Amino acid sequence: MTERFSFSLLATDGKARLGVISTPRGEIRTPAFMPVGTAGTVKAMMPESVRATGADILLGNTYHLMLRPTAERIDRLGGLHRFMNWDRPILTDSGGFQVMSLSDLRKLTEDGVTFRSHVDGSRHFLGPERSMEIQRLLGSDIVMCFDECPALPADEARVAESMRLSMRWAARSRDAFGDRPGHALFGIQQGGVTHDLRAESAEALRAIGFDGYALGGLAVGEGQEAMFGVLDFAPDMLPADRPRYLMGVGKPDDIVGAVRRGVDMMDCVLPSRSGRTGQAFTRRGVVNIKNARHQDDPRPLDEACTCPACRNYSRAYLHHVFRAKEIISSMLLTWHNLRYFQDIMQGMREAIAAGEFAAWQAGFEAARAEGDIEPL
């Protein structure tokens, strides 16, 4: 087991990259999808089940954990890994994005953000130094810089101002993070959909120097076409020998399109959140299990899937427990969705290794175009 954080690029196919991140808590195979464990749990899943889906790393949310149960309490209890019983790598976000999207009465200054908790209305402050402190108390393996990003569409002046503030905060984050062997700090490129702002941001981050680089400010309302438009040039602005992380993405076709454009890591609540609302992602597209067409259907959700929901249960059962609001409905559909997302990642990793990414993507798209199996 390594003592340091490192990234090895093993193969490329076009712009798609196969690699491995080594950390003292284990290896992360890339391209990697990170399930989101918002408040110290991937909802409806035991940690060993999350691991069984093929996840090498989880994401934890600084904003939620700082408010409840607080970073100081988690630290006293041995850190987030021990607290939530997940001994593999954890990446934490900086809290910046969620402060802006979830909290009340925000006040943004050069120093940071003052806000009221959405949980109990209490008053808090978050800036680069405090974000680094919280992520250290949590024991995060991959720490994200504190940043700010406007929802899109936004006018270019607002995007530029926000990006430059985030770059000043990136330098403060780097200083506050210090030297912590075995832990990584990632910078976050901003700049909206504008080429020159993305280039300016990448240059600022490279001058500071980070262990990895994220593409921020995407998947915030711009749509897939605009996002892919940015991903056609933005990843190339970041150092090739460091991991590239696209934050908050996405749907299966977003993920495949991002990997094709050179992204190594992604995270999204979609597979777990959708699992709780009766939506399943399959090789042949999205299935709404609440639809009455499934109520007499003895077939599995996805013939090709080896998850417990598909191996042991029928569509009729999954439909019934969703309608009856049974907890097992969320458990089974979340497991299936997380497994499907990890199967996509595994498929892409094998395809890149074999130099067959384009053929793999064509097969992925053809299966989706077929649509769900015909009703009985």
Taking the complex as a whole, the smallest distance from the CB of residue 310 to Zn ion amounts, in Å, to 3
How many chain residues touch Zn ion (CB under 5 A)? 5
Q: Does 289 bind Zn ion (CB under 5 A)?
A: no
Taking the complex as a whole, the smallest distance from the CB of residue 301 to Zn ion amounts, in Å, to 6
Q: Does 305 bind Zn ion (CB under 5 A)?
A: yes
Whichever of 127 and 271 has its CB closer to Zn ion, that residue is 271
* Amino acid in the structure at residue 276: R
Q: Which residues, other chains included, contact 286 with Cβ-Cβ below 8 Å and sequence gap of 6+?
A: 279, 280
Whichever of 204 and 310 has its CB closer to Zn ion, that residue is 310
Neighbouring-strand partners of residue 168? none
Q: Does 307 bind Zn ion (CB under 5 A)?
A: yes
Whichever of 256 and 309 has its CB closer to Zn ion, that residue is 309
- Residue 93 annotated in active site: yes
Cα separation, 23 vs 207, whole angstroms: 24
Which region, judged by CB under 5 A, interacts with Zn ion, from 31-39, 153-161, 178-186, 297-305?
Answer: 297-305
CA dihedral 223, 228, 234, 236 (to 10 degrees): 170
Cα separation, 45 vs 22, whole angstroms: 25
Whichever of 142 and 307 has its CB closer to Zn ion, that residue is 307
Classify strands 58-60 and 90-92 as parallel, antiparallel or unpaired: parallel
Cα separation, 227 vs 339, whole angstroms: 25
Whichever of 98 and 342 has its CB closer to Zn ion, that residue is 342
What is the side-by-side strand order in the sheet with 16-23?
Answer: 6-13, 16-23, 26-30
Q: Does 163 bind Zn ion (CB under 5 A)?
A: no
Which region, judged by CB under 5 A, interacts with Zn ion, from 38-46, 95-103, 330-338, 345-353?
Answer: 330-338
Instruction: Please pick, from the candidates 25, 88, 242, 336, the single residue that binds Zn ion as defined by CB under 5 A.
Output: 336
31, with CB counted inside 10 A (0-12, 13-18, 19+), is buried
Which region, judged by CB under 5 A, interacts with Zn ion, from 108-116, 199-207, 307-315, 343-351?
Answer: 307-315
Whichever of 2 and 312 has its CB closer to Zn ion, that residue is 312
Classify strands 6-13 and 16-23 as parallel, antiparallel or unpaired: antiparallel
Taking the complex as a whole, the smallest distance from the CB of residue 336 to Zn ion amounts, in Å, to 4
- Residue 267 annotated in active site: yes
Tokens standing for residue 371: 């649509």
Taking the complex as a whole, the smallest distance from the CB of residue 193 to Zn ion amounts, in Å, to 36
User: Tokens 């992925």 belong to which residue?
Assistant: 364
Could you tell me which of 357, 355, 326, 329 has the C-alpha nearest to residue 344? 357
Whichever of 57 and 310 has its CB closer to Zn ion, that residue is 310
- The residue annotated as part of the active site, out of 13, 56, 93, 343, is 93
Q: 327-354 and 252-260 helices cross at what angle (nearest 10)? A: 20
Taking the complex as a whole, the smallest distance from the CB of residue 339 to Zn ion amounts, in Å, to 5
Q: Does 338 bind Zn ion (CB under 5 A)?
A: no
Neighbouring-strand partners of residue 104? 116
Q: Map residue 96 onto helix, strand or coil.
A: helix
- The residue annotated as part of the active site, out of 13, 211, 267, 302, is 267
Taking the complex as a whole, the smallest distance from the CB of residue 340 to Zn ion amounts, in Å, to 6
Taking the complex as a whole, the smallest distance from the CB of residue 307 to Zn ion amounts, in Å, to 3
* Residues 170 to 229 in contact with Zn ion, rule: CB under 5 A: none
Which region, judged by CB under 5 A, interacts with Zn ion, from 224-232, 255-263, 317-325, 328-336?
Answer: 328-336
Which region, judged by CB under 5 A, interacts with Zn ion, from 118-126, 159-167, 222-230, 332-340?
Answer: 332-340
Q: 327-354 and 315-323 helices cross at what angle (nearest 10)? A: 130
Q: 357-370 and 327-354 helices cross at what angle (nearest 10)? A: 140
Cα separation, 329 vs 335, whole angstroms: 10
Residues that bind Zn ion (CB under 5 A): 305, 307, 309-310, 336
Give the residue numbers annotated as catalytic, written as ranges.
Answer: 93, 267
